[in-house]
Amino acid sequence: MIALFVGLTIGFLMCIPIGPINVWVIHTYLKKGFPHAFSIALGGSSMDFIYFFTIMTGLSFVTYSEDFGTNLQLFGIGFIFILGLIEMSRKYEGIALGTVDNAAHKLLGSVLIGIVLYTSNPTLVVTMTGLGAFVKSLGLFDATALNHLLVAIGLALGSASWFLFLLAMLKRYEGAVKARLLLFNKASGVLMVLLSLVMSVRLYAKV
């Protein structure tokens, strides 16, 4: 159980710094509500599990060329940039949100958005590799297949827990936030564009 607890703690803490998923989860909650916002978070958390379990076990069941990985990141960065531009240029008629479609295929689309936002980070592999090395260096649990699985599950659950906490805080202060919805949407658009530019610089430096 130590491995699970370590994963939970690290997964929660590593999601606190602001990034594309945090920004878009908040934005989506304000416009579409909890189901779509948490679906985006689940997309990111599922990728946390896949990446970290792969790194912890040393497996390479998903292999692709460096060029493919770079192109995938470019696609994600472009996606974030476009999302930001759309929000910056969108014209709002009041702040009425209307009825939101929570059909399964719509929620699946939100999960896929979370996956794209997650994989767009050009420093992801380096960060996860360093995190895996740090966890192993702690020596808090034996390097068994079960513990590797538990720490990866814990990481994903910790990540999801952060987003639940974030959404709970949004719900608590929802009235105050929605009173400034137009300003927040514009600000989130600017932030997404800036984040995409920062990630572009990082990706350029890496290649």
**Number of helices (H) and strands (E), helices first, in the chain?**
9, 0
Write the CA distances from 125 to 11, 90, 109, 130, integer angstroms: 15, 34, 24, 8
Say how many residues make up the chain.
207
d(CA 206, CA 201): 9
- Cβ–Cβ under 8 Å, residues 73 and 120: yes
- Name the token pair of 143: 């390097």
Better-scored residue on pLDDT, 176 or 47: 47
Average pLDDT on 91-120 reads: 75
Tell me: pLDDT of 56 over 50: yes
- How much is the pLDDT for 68? 59
- How much is the pLDDT for 74? 78
- Cβ–Cβ under 8 Å, residues 95 and 180: no
d(CA 75, CA 46): 20
Structure letter (DSSP) for residue 95: S
Tell me: pLDDT of 67 over 90: no
d(CA 79, CA 148): 33
Place of tokens 């709002």: 92
- How much is the pLDDT for 90? 64
d(CA 183, CA 190): 11
Residue-averaged pLDDT of the chain: 80
Write the pLDDT tens digit of every residue in 116-156. 888 877 667 777 888 888 888 778 888 888 998 999 999 99
- How much is the pLDDT for 112? 92
- How much is the pLDDT for 60? 47
From the list 92, 83, 96, the residue with the least C-alpha distance to 182 is 92
- How much is the pLDDT for 185? 67
pTM of the model: 0.73
- How much is the pLDDT for 179? 62
CB atoms within 10 A of CB 134: 10
Write the pLDDT tens digit of every residue in 22-51. 888 988 888 888 999 999 999 999 999 988
- Cβ–Cβ under 8 Å, residues 27 and 185: yes
